[in-house]
């Protein structure tokens, strides 16, 4: 039995494209939230939105650390940053599925998890 061709699946590609088209609106909302609310004043959905937006704005783990600290005032967090090698089919499939399922990738396509005292983002 052949494995599914995730990279060429039209429904997965469509879902990922739709998520990417929503990114601008989510970014504007996140910027507005961060300008009027502190981390402690945000609910879980607002935190997820803002963290996801900052992930999309960073090109490196160091840059993301700086953004989380400066934009959200976070002092205690852990970052898992994974960049797949060029030509890594499994990594490309994972990135496409992350986008299709509503996740965010960094500017350079890294897959990122962030653990704060309030949860995993």
Whole-number Å distance between alpha carbons of 118 and 65: 17
User: In this predicted structure, what is the pLDDT of residue 34?
Assistant: 97
Which residues are CB-contacts of 102 (< 8 A; sequence separation ≥ 6)? Answer: 19
DSSP 59-115: SSHHHHHHHHHHHH---SEEEEEE-PPTT-HHHHHHHHHHHHTT--B-TT--EEEEE
pLDDT, tens digit only, all 121 positions of the chain = 677 888 989 898 888 888 888 888 999 999 999 999 999 999 999 999 999 999 999 999 999 999 999 999 999 999 999 999 989 999 999 999 998 888 899 999 999 999 999 988 8
Helix, strand, or coil (residue 9): coil
- What was the pLDDT predicted at 1? 64
**CA–CA gap between residue 78 and residue 92 (Å, rounded):** 24
Check residue 19 and give its pLDDT: 84
């Amino acid at each position: 039995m052949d494995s599914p061709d995730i990279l060429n699946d039209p429904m997965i590609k469509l879902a990922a494209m739709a998520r990417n088209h929503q990114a601008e609106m989510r970014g504007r909302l996140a910027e507005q939230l961060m300008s009027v609310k502190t981390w402690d004043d945000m609910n879980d959905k607002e935190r997820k939105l803002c963290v996801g937006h900052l992930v999309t704005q960073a090109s490196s783990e160091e840059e993301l650390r700086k953004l989380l600290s400066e934009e959200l005032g976070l002092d205690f967090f852990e970052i898992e940053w994974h960049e797949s090698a060029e030509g890594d089919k499994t990594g490309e499939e994972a990135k496409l599925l992350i986008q299709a399922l509503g996740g965010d990738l960094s500017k350079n396509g890294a897959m990122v998890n962030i653990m704060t005292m309030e949860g995993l983002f």
